A and B are shown apart, each in its own frame.
Chain A
Amino acid sequence: DAGVTQSPTHLIKTRGQHVTLRCSPISGHKSVSWYQQVLGQGPQFIFQYYEKEERGRGNFPDRFSARQFPNYSSELNVNALLLGDSALYLCASSLPRSDQPQHFGDGTRLSIL
């Protein structure tokens, strides 16, 4: 069975540009979460979507947005990129039960020049 897949694996952008990152969840998972991981830190929660509705949002500016499609795949969009947005962006999917773990993709490494 395919795990969580993310694309692209690496991306280089310049300040002020925008970026779209993509995620396909594990088959049967309707919940998708996005995290940002910077060097030396644990992943930080950005968004969760379930059944195409936003269920939660972390402490990130409005430049960050996301959506979920009818097939449960998801996009994370970041506008007006800053140097500080350079990070590993992780997507996770899960079943909607409080005892179910989130399963992660390998991430997109975003570098801002």
Chain B
Amino acid sequence: DQQVKQNSPSLSVQEGRISILNCDYTNSMFDYFLWYKKYPAEGPTFLISISSIKDKNEDGRFTVFLNKSAKHLSLHIVPSQPGDSAVYFCAVYSGGSNYKLTFGKGTLLTVNP
């Protein structure tokens, strides 16, 4: 039973355009949401996060949007760069604790020059 779903296994965009990665979750008890980026042969790298009390958080080219009523999370990357090509994971904490991350399956983003 997948609690965090990334329904697009892959996404391809042109350099300079916007990349939008999506994530859906099933449990309304999830209270902190994170995005990680993973290159081959490296561990996941933390990108950006958002608390359930907010609906938007920005950090440079990266913006995360949270729609609690739809249980939907998205990551926007503007402008996209070839170095952004990686697997992106949506992950969540629940219960006011950061002891356990629950991950989606990931979306492979390819940014073409």
Contacts and interface: CB of A to CB of B under 8 A. Distances in A.
Given A42-B105, A101-B49, A106 B100 contact: no
Q: Which range contains the number of B residues in contact with the other chain?
A: 20 to 34
Nearest to A43: B103
A105 B43 CA distance: 5
Given A4-B43, A42-B91, A106-B43, A100 B98 contact: yes
B93 interface: yes
A50 B41 CA distance: 27
Interface stretch (A14-22, A68-76, A78-86, A90-98): A90-98
Interface string B30-48: 0110101000011111100
A90 B44 contact: yes
Contacts of A96: 98
Give the size range of A's interface with the partner: 20 to 34
Contacts of B100: 33, 45, 48, 56, 58
Contacts of B97: 98
B45 A102 contact: no
A19 to B, nearest CB: 19
Interface string B96-113: 111111111110000000
Contacts of A97: 98
Contacts of A48: 99-100
B106 A42 contact: yes
A25 interface: no
Contacts of B74: none
16 contacts: A31-B98, A31-B99, A33-B99, A33-B100, A40-B105, A41-B105, A43-B101, A43-B103, A48-B99, A48-B100, A92-B43, A98-B31, A98-B32, A101-B46, A102-B46, A106-B41
